[in-house]
Chain A
């Protein structure tokens, strides 16, 4: 039974034949082009079966790995079970309710989260004292408002000043912010202070630190003190550390992020003589060139930039639609959205930048060592012309993985194009740092030299994520005279090697602050008392400085009292608004930030053009194959490895879950290539060798990956992440070197006979010529704005109905008493395919809001992922006339897919027990209690958006996350407004019906209709690009109604099945440059 019953034949991929098939084709061919392509067996099997291995058929949650996991977990917990978190079981309602708390009514608190120096403002929903959902803070500069500005204005104007609906201030987030909720309740978090693995108390730790402090003091300047932290934007923490450094002038503070901006920093220093942070204004850029930059996925201010990007992707934008060129190695989120994408090995992008800079007239540059590939050279001329044609309105962005020279060249290009001060502005660095890689190397040298007495590591995990050549682990273990102190959320790879380990308080449990990408100070306030007695970095540093029982709140407040002025600390003890500071502080806490603290813009200019690039920068590197490292789209640098939501969130392009894989270009596995991987398939394990290091890793054949390079995401292969993250994926850090942190030259690949099962949520990559996804170029759109409706046998546009024997239901009818005397609602949604960048933050937001369980890798392989919201990814090949079809560079389409709430829903009539029914507002409801699980509804759903609890996933999830006490903190995670579904129940997107009813109840109390923008679905709230819009279709002025009237609006399968979906799509428009024929 292990062998699949119908394992497809493994046909070797014959790309040459496919290409030859395509050669005869003429004219620009979009999705239809693929249909013909798929007629060849090879391409069909290639596209259809990227992962031919079928799920193992035995149901064995207690598999070997699971068993080992559980064993490891029980061993780990054995020592600490006595300290396990015990739930308080109160069954009595509040006799005296805490202030502001109304049971059943959520409270929202503003806070903020920092990730690799990027601070995002959040609004966290708290239900009876526990945080249950994270939203962005729309007031915060790094979290753009979820609703369109005019909608927010309307809501604010209409609402009474004292009761602004919370939704109007909700901002967008990325998937990491959304998933932090699960990290908070993660049962694998470290739960007690440990000394050499034995439980100790915080008190004992403080005593030990005081001892250390005195010893250091006695020795003088603190020569032996080293502090290793992440990139810290927190002003309080920075000032504390500064205070420590003032006391111990010889101590060293090293900031190290595995995903750092060293190259950007060095590039800025090359260009301007000092480090400067860029604030790009993507929304002002008519022409955008990204050089290996994935600014839509991560990085400081990425949400704002994604919003700006999406705004300018609107073909009806008053300033015109932007045009985006991407030159990149691996296919990234950003590149996949570009109008033109050029795959180019990461190390060759500098040559491209050099040629382009020359073309743009920048002088004093060296000669390139090697000529560019033909297609790349073809790009230079038209691209330069196009950029020059938009002076002051173009923008060149460079990814942090690119060497400093590319950054410097981009600065020069931006200056030459007149973009400084227009599409790109500059500020002092938000979190100034030395070269982090250098810093870490020096630290290791010091450790090896025995020069470190006390090493304090705050929230870092260098044993796992330091470059392999530094041998951090050995250095740490061999440094016998060093006292190692570690603060971490989990007892991770580093923590277990330290004498002292302190559990870290999650940011939702602690006080703190941080600075957003533009310098705005953001505050961090706790939503809940530390679940596991964790401490924040601020408190630990204070303890090291000799504070007894430091209080994070007092420390942060004291710092800002000093900074902002206005009152004595003693006054605030009463908690009253007695002084100016307390009043300001209250407002700041309410807003989650301190207003008007954004950094001043600074003027920069290229100091010496001849220093931008030297011939050395362009010396060819050895070896024909390079390994490119990049942060993972879901687990980032590895810190989220134990977050099951992120592990199970399909990565935007590969749709992989639970693993990373070595992404190789399609040409490498071509039978004709003759290379070591000829004929390989995704899932075949290869040995990736660098020097004497070899990493066995499965490959993933990545269409659109540049040739001569392979890419591996960081963040996997952890050994001490926790029950979820241990043993997932392959550790890319083991091939990372401090000299080549991002682009590792000279790797080689050899085949192994092994196979590895990869869990992908989407097996089929092509659309098979179906018109589910519709797109046109700007030119075509301007000629025929209703292009999405051409060639349909009947029209299913918004508001149109078809003849039927049954009377139409009148959704706008006034339902009289009990309906508040107002006309009914008709809920609907639009998904703007031009705005959607495919980032998947909606997927995680939906999971968090709707208590959607995680099913695990095995169940994903079986095709049972539970996400109500999925973002489909399709590859397509465009073949312009007279061009050779470019299989190596497919176009990408993202299409969020969730319940369409069809007015003529095929699922409803087939349910034998009436468990799925239509309501008077057009919602297709799922009555969980009534469902017996015949699954007919899912079979009859043409969109296949219904998910079934094949097993009792919520219970399995709780069982597998139990602590030693038999209690799982995940019970606290669930949204109280949404039922938890049991085994045998069908479920699906409800349009967040709980939010709809919340809004309706409020409106009925106030005796009015629900206003547009008052009800925001979870996906809509999270979406950084406002691609999803929800509202009442009976409200003519609602944004959703206006969008539905757009000629681009179409329903998926609406013409084929007459389902009349309430969720419709706005067809995509691209803006290619006619001068660059290939795309």
Chain B
């Protein structure tokens, strides 16, 4: 790890700095606050916001109709009781993994290249979890009693049934959302203060002032800030693993062939990170181009993220392979049918299945090649392919398994309806709408951390040491 920080250590790394040259505290601060405070409202931003807002409207319409009529507006039927809502829930939750992983785990692992992308990845996480969190509630037959899943004292003597993975889900997701929010907000404090100080506009001063909670940048503030940030990182780390593990229990605990698989927890976590990084790439590449942030989100960042994607993608591929291997080795006729027979690969959903294999396994192998990792266009396309692939994975898992399970007489296929799609696209709208607003009102790159990084890179260079005094030493 130490050598990773040594920017002069290896040629390959030297070519790819984690921050552009010549940055000082002031330039970093100027450049990053300018995006929020000085930049004029760009037409492209307005257009993006308008489009995503239109999808928010679609979302609201879809939810309204859903609440009025019930889940019958979706394409669900008797064998396929879970459809897009659960597919999208798992997909969004997966996307919501990268932020916390980048922020917390990479922080603990002292991967300082994470600095420029963490804020923005965390925001992405929050928004993705918000989108994800809506689905389990919208998905309920009687959404108005969703709180029955929580343990609270009540006169009905109702208590959740703790053996159900859905109850674990409630805790896992809500804890994850809470910790991610705190982590994100704590990290924002110095930057909010920075914005407060630089804002010219009274209104902005007030808002940022209130939000920065009296941050003055004293040494004591910094010390407490660093401690709490590290503690939260420690808290968040197991959550990254637990959330998707528990989401995978929704399937693994059941008896349904295609769901009842012990490899699910690790491969779901890997898949989540896979899709999370894909989403970060999908968003970061255009972002750094539009706001000219190439100095901060450098090619090295992209390269590293691509490598993480490749690694987690391979874990996912291993998961698929093990599912199939066990189906063959276990000689369970129902599982064999699902995994290797007319269930998934050769059944009515064969196109989904094979596209999923192509998107998640075949195409990401391009990332072995440096050119693919360096070429932003190729990388961007691959990241989108992975996002699609991971969505398909969830579709294939959720839908094919129930659509042809044990009793052939009730096999039915699932066809998503307009309302399935509108809700899905609607949450994408919500996600992007929040993201557009976020970019405009909060620093998408952590200013204080970038300053620290700029200092340390500079300092290290001048010292010419091999990086023993890493940035993180100041955190300790």
Judge: A and B partners, yes or no.
yes
Residues of chain A touching chain B, judged by Cβ–Cβ distance below 8 Å, are 1, 4-6, 8, 38, 44, 48-49, 54-55, 57-59, 762-764, 766-770, 772, 859, 862-865, 870, 872-874, 895, 897, 906, 909-914, 930-936, 938-940, 942-944, 946-952, 983-986, 1052-1053, 1056-1057
- Chain A residues, Cβ within 8 Å of B349: 6
Whether B413 contacts A6 by the Cβ 8 Å rule is yes
Whether A934 contacts B415 by the Cβ 8 Å rule is no
Bound complex: CA A954 to CA B211 (Å): 51
Whether A912 contacts B149 by the Cβ 8 Å rule is yes
Whether A768 contacts B337 by the Cβ 8 Å rule is yes
Q: Given A770-B406, A983-B141, A984-B71, 5 more contacts at CB 8 Å? A: A863-B78, A897-B409, A931-B141, A1056-B332, A1056-B406
Please judge, given known A-B contacts A950-B71, A983-B142, whether A935 and B81 are in contact too, CB under 8 Å: yes
Bound complex: CA A49 to CA B259 (Å): 24
Bound complex: CA A895 to CA B69 (Å): 34
Question: Please, what's the 1-or-0 string for B59-92, where 1 marks a CB less than 8 Å from any CB in chain A?
Answer: 0000000000111111111111110000000000
Whether A59 contacts B408 by the Cβ 8 Å rule is no
- Chain B residues, Cβ within 8 Å of A933: 71, 140-142
Whether A766 contacts B351 by the Cβ 8 Å rule is no
Q: Please give me the 7 A-B residue pairs with the lowest Cβ-Cβ distance, nearest first.
A: A933-B141, A984-B141, A863-B77, A950-B72, A951-B72, A872-B409, A57-B417
- Chain B residues, Cβ within 8 Å of A913: 148-149, 158, 160-161
Nearest chain A residue, comparing its CB with the CB of B168: A912
Bound complex: CA A938 to CA B401 (Å): 13
* Interface size grouping (class) on chain B: 35 or more
- Chain B residues, Cβ within 8 Å of A1053: 406
Whether A762 contacts B348 by the Cβ 8 Å rule is no
- Chain B residues, Cβ within 8 Å of A934: 136, 139-141, 166
- Chain B residues, Cβ within 8 Å of A38: 342
Whether B141 contacts A59 by the Cβ 8 Å rule is no
Question: Can you list 22 A-B contacts with CB-CB less than 8 angstroms, sorted by A residue number?
Answer: A1-B418, A48-B411, A59-B73, A762-B409, A766-B408, A863-B412, A874-B409, A906-B255, A912-B164, A912-B170, A913-B148, A913-B161, A931-B142, A934-B139, A935-B141, A936-B81, A936-B82, A942-B256, A942-B407, A943-B407, A944-B405, A986-B141
Of A6, A864, A939, A985, which is within 8 A of B142 by CB?
Answer: A985
Shortest distance in angstroms between A955's beta carbon and chain B's nearest beta carbon?
A: 10
Of B149, B351, B409, which is within 8 A of A764 by CB?
Answer: B409
Shortest distance in angstroms between A55's beta carbon and chain B's nearest beta carbon?
A: 6
Nearest chain A residue, comparing its CB with the CB of B401: A939
- Chain B residues, Cβ within 8 Å of A44: 342
Residues of chain B touching chain A, judged by Cβ–Cβ distance below 8 Å, are 69-82, 136, 139-143, 145-146, 148-149, 158-161, 163-167, 170, 250, 253-256, 259, 332-334, 337, 342, 348-349, 351-352, 402, 405-413, 415-421
- Chain B residues, Cβ within 8 Å of A4: 413, 415
Bound complex: CA A8 to CA B337 (Å): 18
Shortest distance in angstroms between A1061's beta carbon and chain B's nearest beta carbon?
A: 12
Whether B255 contacts A944 by the Cβ 8 Å rule is no
Whether B70 contacts A952 by the Cβ 8 Å rule is yes
Whether A763 contacts B140 by the Cβ 8 Å rule is no
Interface core residue of A767, A944, A1057 (most chain B CB under 10 Å): A944
- Chain A residues, Cβ within 8 Å of B72: 59, 859, 864, 950-951, 983
Shortest distance in angstroms between A603's beta carbon and chain B's nearest beta carbon?
A: 49
Whether A6 contacts B348 by the Cβ 8 Å rule is yes
Bound complex: CA A762 to CA B412 (Å): 8
Whether B408 contacts A912 by the Cβ 8 Å rule is no
Of A58, A764, A951, which is within 8 A of B418 by CB?
Answer: A58
Of A939, A983, A1052, which is within 8 A of B402 by CB?
Answer: A939
- Chain B residues, Cβ within 8 Å of A1056: 332, 334, 406
Whether B410 contacts A940 by the Cβ 8 Å rule is no
Whether A984 contacts B70 by the Cβ 8 Å rule is yes
Please judge, given known A-B contacts A59-B72, A984-B142, whether A944 and B407 are in contact too, CB under 8 Å: yes
- Chain A residues, Cβ within 8 Å of B75: 55, 57, 862
Nearest chain A residue, comparing its CB with the CB of B257: A942
Shortest distance in angstroms between A823's beta carbon and chain B's nearest beta carbon?
A: 28
Shortest distance in angstroms between A594's beta carbon and chain B's nearest beta carbon?
A: 45
Of A5, A57, A944, which is within 8 A of B78 by CB?
Answer: A944
- Chain A residues, Cβ within 8 Å of B165: 910
Please judge, given known A-B contacts A772-B407, A911-B164, A983-B141, whether A8 and B149 are in contact too, CB under 8 Å: no
Nearest chain A residue, comparing its CB with the CB of B337: A768
Whether B415 contacts A912 by the Cβ 8 Å rule is no
Nearest chain B residue, comparing its CB with the CB of A860: B77
Whether A939 contacts B76 by the Cβ 8 Å rule is no
Shortest distance in angstroms between B457's beta carbon and chain A's nearest beta carbon?
A: 50
Shortest distance in angstroms between A954's beta carbon and chain B's nearest beta carbon?
A: 12
- Chain A residues, Cβ within 8 Å of B405: 942, 944
Please judge, given known A-B contacts A54-B413, A939-B81, whether A910 and B164 are in contact too, CB under 8 Å: yes
Whether A940 contacts B167 by the Cβ 8 Å rule is no
Bound complex: CA A713 to CA B360 (Å): 52
Whether A932 contacts B78 by the Cβ 8 Å rule is no
Nearest chain B residue, comparing its CB with the CB of A855: B72
Bound complex: CA A933 to CA B75 (Å): 16
Of B160, B259, B342, which is within 8 A of A912 by CB?
Answer: B160
Please judge, given known A-B contacts A912-B160, A914-B161, A938-B78, whether A59 and B417 are in contact too, CB under 8 Å: yes
Whether B81 contacts A948 by the Cβ 8 Å rule is yes
Whether A932 contacts B415 by the Cβ 8 Å rule is no
Nearest chain A residue, comparing its CB with the CB of B78: A863
Nearest chain A residue, comparing its CB with the CB of B255: A906
Whether B166 contacts A912 by the Cβ 8 Å rule is yes
Of B146, B342, B406, which is within 8 A of A942 by CB?
Answer: B406
Shortest distance in angstroms between A914's beta carbon and chain B's nearest beta carbon?
A: 4
- Chain B residues, Cβ within 8 Å of A859: 72
Whether B161 contacts A911 by the Cβ 8 Å rule is yes
Nearest chain B residue, comparing its CB with the CB of A866: B78
Please judge, given known A-B contacts A768-B337, A912-B167, whether A932 and B142 are in contact too, CB under 8 Å: yes
Please judge, given known A-B contacts A57-B416, A863-B78, whether A912 and B142 are in contact too, CB under 8 Å: no
Bound complex: CA A859 to CA B253 (Å): 30
Bound complex: CA A936 to CA B89 (Å): 15
- Chain A residues, Cβ within 8 Å of B139: 934
Bound complex: CA A58 to CA B412 (Å): 18
Shortest distance in angstroms between B88's beta carbon and chain A's nearest beta carbon?
A: 15
Nearest chain A residue, comparing its CB with the CB of B402: A939
Bound complex: CA A1 to CA B419 (Å): 10
Bound complex: CA A436 to CA B295 (Å): 96
Shortest distance in angstroms between A546's beta carbon and chain B's nearest beta carbon?
A: 57
- Chain A residues, Cβ within 8 Å of B417: 1, 57-59
Shortest distance in angstroms between A304's beta carbon and chain B's nearest beta carbon?
A: 30
Bound complex: CA A98 to CA B408 (Å): 52
Shortest distance in angstroms between B271's beta carbon and chain A's nearest beta carbon?
A: 20
Interface core residue of A4, A873, A940 (most chain B CB under 10 Å): A940
Bound complex: CA A736 to CA B334 (Å): 48
Shortest distance in angstroms between A1045's beta carbon and chain B's nearest beta carbon?
A: 26
Please judge, given known A-B contacts A6-B349, A933-B141, A983-B141, whether A912 and B409 are in contact too, CB under 8 Å: no
Bound complex: CA A59 to CA B143 (Å): 19
Bound complex: CA A38 to CA B73 (Å): 34
Whether B412 contacts A940 by the Cβ 8 Å rule is no
Of B76, B170, B256, B412, which is within 8 A of A763 by CB?
Answer: B412
